[in-house]
Amino acid sequence: MTVFSKIDMSEVTRLTRAGQLNEAMALLQGRPASGTPARAGSVPEASNVGATIDMVAPSLSGGAWTAPGIGPDTEEAPAHAKAFARPSLAETIRSLRERFPKMGAMPEFGGGLGAGLGGGLGSSRGVTVAVPAGARFEERSFANAAGSRSYKVYVPSSYTGQALPVVIMLHGCTQNPDDFAAGTRMNELAEEQTFLVAYPGQPQSANMQKCWNWFNASDQQRDRGEPSLIAGIALEVVKEFLADPSRVYAAGLSAGGAAAAIMASTYPDVFAAIGVHSGLACGAARDMPSAFAAMNGGGTPAARKDGTGVPTIVFHGDADRTVCPVNGEQVIAQALSGETLTRVVTQGESGQGMSFTRTVQSSASGRAMVEHWALHGAGHAWSGGSTDGSYTDPRGPDASREMMRFFMAHSTSPAQPRH
């Protein structure tokens, strides 16, 4: 259970308005507020209410950065979601930030908390993914000792039983497989280049806002929790479609990007390369307070124990107000194996006017081992994505296409070692 699942936000607001800022801060950091009696109607400890991380970008260009949740004006919004979207909570956050300017365990909220909620959430967009003739986009389910997850798999029309590469796509908070497929346009690339794509779906039963629980220590270990489920899905797709086990990749956005980094650390034998968009390194956080600290300024990622890294490509906007850009640099640092690499830095601009700095570090053979795209002026959204999905920035370079280019240069087969 996460630390935030114990927090009664209405009590935090009450304490703040009463001038009891130390007590309010204690509650937000998961510590008991000294001398504060329990209030009738407070959220019970067993509830999963509020167990989420603020990883939501504006649904519209120029929109406010908001806490994720169901639109506060919709009928299906639970009481806690409506309370979380009240302006009074924004006032609470601002008051606490003024009182504790150096605190590291608080989410970064923009103005107008609650503005734009509902309109851009993957769970409510009702996205319909077009499937060309001869192709398939079907739902499956995988279960093991850690639980079960549904997933959707895209099979291109040119599939005839050949051993294809597999890409596991891990969505961000509030999104779902259809929304993520539409926004990243990865199915279109799969149709063009002939590979399989699987989209695991995170249910609300696991996280209220459908975030992958990258910040839980129990979900950062091999053969446990969500890593075992994601790896299990990857291997099940390989088995069902007789895919190439040496060319399995993972990519994700935000919480999904953090989950992809975890897969590289926990299953380097399964994933030949990963793509992390606006995410964090494995071990950057171990609980909810350290997650907020990592998002705001970077955590302390776990060092690789085996001295080897999985080839990694990173995209991160330097104007990201949800996950501090230093996290992208930490993902790259974690992926480096200690080998001396040749570093090349280039500047460029997308066709839609977004400038970027691309840093590639290559092995002696000339193969890129890590690649970092710093997107200048970009926020927390998938670069070059389609507005058919949520949290995309069509102005940027095509992250999906660049990731596939990077992935295809790597495999786990003995004939093609990583370094």
Question: What is the rounded CA–CA span in Å between residue 9 and residue 79?
Answer: 12
The last residue of a domain, from among 99, 114, 148: 99
Q: Does residue 386 lie within any of the structural domains? A: yes
Note whether 169 and 289 are same-domain residues: yes
Q: Does residue 364 lie within any of the structural domains? A: yes
Question: What is the rounded CA–CA span in Å between residue 168 and residue 174?
Answer: 18
The pLDDT score that the predictor gives to residue 339 is 76
The amino acid at 160:
T
Note whether 163 and 305 are same-domain residues: yes
Note whether 145 and 71 are same-domain residues: no
The count of domains in the chain is 2
Here the tokens at position 336 are 């480096």
Q: Does residue 244 lie within any of the structural domains? A: yes
The pLDDT score that the predictor gives to residue 5 is 39
The pLDDT score that the predictor gives to residue 49 is 27
pLDDT digits (tens, 9 = 90+) for 213-229: 999 999 999 999 999 99
Note whether 90 and 169 are same-domain residues: no
Give Rg (Cα) of the chain: 21
The pLDDT score that the predictor gives to residue 34 is 58
pLDDT digits (tens, 9 = 90+) for 339-366: 789 999 999 999 999 999 999 999 988 9
pLDDT digits (tens, 9 = 90+) for 100-127: 554 444 443 322 222 222 222 333 457 8
The pLDDT score that the predictor gives to residue 115 is 24
Whether 276 has a pLDDT exceeding 60, the answer reads: yes
The amino acid at 75:
E
Whether 41 has a pLDDT exceeding 90, the answer reads: no
Question: What is the rounded CA–CA span in Å between residue 42 and residue 221?
Answer: 33
Q: Does residue 417 lie within any of the structural domains? A: no
pLDDT digits (tens, 9 = 90+) for 141-156: 999 999 999 999 999 9
3-state secondary structure the chain: CCHHHHCCHHHHHHHHHCCCHHHHHHHHCCCCCCCCCCCCCCCCCCCCCCCCCCCECCCCCCCCCECCCCCCCCCCCCHHHHHHCCHHHHHHHHHHHHHCCCCCCCCCCCCCCCCCCCCCCCCCCCCCCCCCCCCEEEEEEEEECCEEEEEEEEECCCCCCCCCCEEEEECCCCCCHHHHHHHHCHHHHHHHHCCEEEEECCCCCCCCCCCCCCCCHHHCCCCCHHHHHHHHHHHHHHHHHCCCCCCEEEEEECHHHHHHHHHHHHCCCCCCEEEEECCCCCCCCCCHHHHHHHHHHCCCCCCCCCCCCCCEEEEEECCCCCCCCHHHHHHHHHHCCCCCCEEEEEEEECCCCCEEEEEEEECCCCCEEEEEEEECCCCCCEECCCCCCCCEECCCCCHHHHHHHHHCCCCCCCCCCCC
* pLDDT band (50, 70, 90) for residue 32: low
The last residue of a domain, from among 74, 99, 124: 99
The last residue of a domain, from among 99, 119, 150: 99
Q: Does residue 84 lie within any of the structural domains? A: yes
The pLDDT score that the predictor gives to residue 300 is 79
Note whether 80 and 185 are same-domain residues: no
In terms of pLDDT, which residue wins out, 288 or 241? Answer: 241
Note whether 95 and 152 are same-domain residues: no
Note whether 180 and 39 are same-domain residues: no
Identify the domain containing residue 149 by its residue range. Answer: 136-407
- Of 18, 107, 121, 115, nearest to 73 by C-alpha is 115
Note whether 61 and 142 are same-domain residues: no
The pLDDT score that the predictor gives to residue 309 is 86
Note whether 160 and 85 are same-domain residues: no
Whether 253 has a pLDDT exceeding 70, the answer reads: yes
Q: Does residue 163 lie within any of the structural domains? A: yes
Whether 72 has a pLDDT exceeding 70, the answer reads: no
The pLDDT score that the predictor gives to residue 356 is 98
Question: What is the rounded CA–CA span in Å between residue 270 and residue 247?
Answer: 9
Note whether 83 and 183 are same-domain residues: no
pLDDT digits (tens, 9 = 90+) for 166-197: 999 999 999 999 999 999 999 999 999 999 99
Note whether 161 and 303 are same-domain residues: yes
The pLDDT score that the predictor gives to residue 124 is 41
Q: Does residue 177 lie within any of the structural domains? A: yes
Here the tokens at position 240 are 């069902």
**Structural contact between residues 368 and 273, judged by C-beta atoms closer than 8 angstroms:** no
The pLDDT score that the predictor gives to residue 329 is 95
Question: What is the rounded CA–CA span in Å between residue 360 and residue 402?
Answer: 12
**C-alpha distances in Å from residue 329, one per residue of 227, 309, 324, 334, 381:** 22, 15, 10, 9, 17
Note whether 159 and 211 are same-domain residues: yes
CATH code for position 389: 3.40.50.1820
Q: Does residue 325 lie within any of the structural domains? A: yes
